[in-house]
Amino acid sequence: MIIVMEENAPEEQIVSVVDRLVGLGFDIHRSTGTRYTILGAVGARTVDTRLLELLEGVSKVVRITSPYKLAARAFKPEGTRIHLRDIVIGGENLVLMAGPGVVESRDQIETIASALARIGVKVLRGGAFRSSGDPYGFQGLGEEGLKLLREAADRHGCCTVSEITEASQIPLFGRYIDLIQVSAGNMQNFMLLKELARTDKPIILTRGPSATIEETLLAADFMMVGGNHRIIICESGIKTLETYTRNTMDLSAIPVIQKLSHLPVIADPSHATGRRDKVPSMARAVAAAGADGMIIDVHHDPEHALCDGAQSLTLEQFEKLAGQLRQIAPAVERKL
């Protein structure tokens, strides 16, 4: 930690800050310039830097160490690859995860799964528990939904991914789901993250709508400290002053996270834009930006979907998109 004193701060202020730091257990290296005095503080303890910023004569306090450790690129410079049956996330493949917002029935998920498998999708998504603020909307089929998703996936050789909304659902997810998604709204639900850290399932951690990249990596780190190192970060749009789209997709987060962290990075253009007609262009941009994969809402009949039909591609639209992604992948040295 570095403490920069204000220009020409009087000696008694400097001494007082040094005393405080020593009292907190830090070793101090003092560097006195003609105008600025700078204090380097070395020690094991974490302190609330705001307390130091409030001291008389302190201009700013700078952390040297990254606030996240296990999620930092330096921890695993070669990058993390997550193996899921026969697929690898974080390797040379662009991994497509697709399926309906929620599983509605055996027929619905079978219709979608068979079409997606034919197009080449290896990870089938489908929600079973909803956590929206609409008390009147469809709430999902619960365990039955997870089971139908699993069966459809098995029939077509796919893995499963679904969104978890409460820690109490973990045993059910353990039974049916290969890849557990934490939604944007739960990114900082540390009660849930703590329990997920103890499972042996890989996790998709979705960036919250007002979370910075650093906060997102801190949440990943929190789960890694708890024991689960198989985390995938998912960019899903942030709230901005632009209101035409639901959120603004921060595509630069993809190369930024790839530099700062060793964890795989995917994106969710359906949720980010909230509108079907904007999904294909954003999905192509995700691939071109170099992501490890993406999640796309697809429904065979979006107009009658029980949830999020507006952001779901039809099977035809998805097939066309997959063809475009296949053209783009080689430009970023990916296979599809």
Q: What are phi and psi of 295, to 5 degrees?
A: -115, 130
- Does 32 bind a second copy (CB under 8 A)? Our answer is no
End-to-end CA distance of the chain, in Å? Answer: 45
Burial zone of 29 (CB within 10 Å; 0-12 exposed, 13-18 middle, 19+ buried): exposed
Among residues 141, 196, 238, 266, the one that binds a second copy under rule CB under 8 A: 238
Phi-psi region of 238 (alpha: psi -120 to 50; beta: other; left: phi over 0): beta
User: Binding to a second copy by residue 43, rule CB under 8 A?
Assistant: no
Q: Which residues contact 332 (CB under 8 A, 6 or more apart)?
A: 94, 287, 288, 289, 290
What is the C-alpha R_g of the chain? 23
Residue 241 sits in the site that holds a second copy (CB under 8 A): yes
Residue from 278, 299, 300, 334 in contact with a second copy (CB under 8 A): 278
**How buried is residue 63: exposed, middle or buried, by Cβ count under 10 Å (0-12/13-18/19+)?**
exposed
Q: Cβ of residue 213: shortest distance to a second copy, in angstroms? A: 5
Binding to a second copy (CB under 8 A): which residues in 305-334?
Answer: 308-311, 324-325, 327-328, 330-332
- For the segment 195-214, give every residue that binds a second copy (CB under 8 A): 208-210, 212-214
Q: CA 17: distance to chain centroid?
A: 39
Query: What is the phi/psi pair of residue 19, to 5°?
Result: -60, -45
Among 191, 198, 227, 335, binds a second copy (CB under 8 A): 191
Decide if residue 6 touches a second copy (CB under 8 A).
yes
By CB under 8 A, tell whether 48 contacts a second copy.
yes
Handedness of CA 168, 169, 172, 177 (dihedral sign): negative
Which one of residues 10, 11, 62, 118 is an interface residue with a second copy (CB under 8 A)? Answer: 62
Count of positions on this chain that bind a second copy (CB under 8 A):
98
Residues 129-158 vs a second copy: string with x where CB under 8 A?
A: --xxxxxxx---------------------
> Which residues in the 164-183 window bind a second copy by CB under 8 A?
165-166
Q: What is the closest distance, in whole angstroms, from the C-beta atom of residue 169 to a second copy in the complex?
A: 11
> Per CB under 8 A, does 78 bind a second copy?
no
- Asked if 266 and 295 count as a contact pair (C-beta separation under 8 A), the reply is yes
* Residue of 15, 29, 85, 154 that binds a second copy (CB under 8 A): 29
Name the token pair of 274: 């909230």
- Interface with a second copy includes 64 (CB under 8 A)? yes
* Interface pick for a second copy out of 11, 12, 19, 53 (rule CB under 8 A): 53
Q: Which two tokens stand for residue 267?
A: 């994106």
Question: Is the CB of 111 or the CB of 139 nearer to a second copy?
Answer: 139
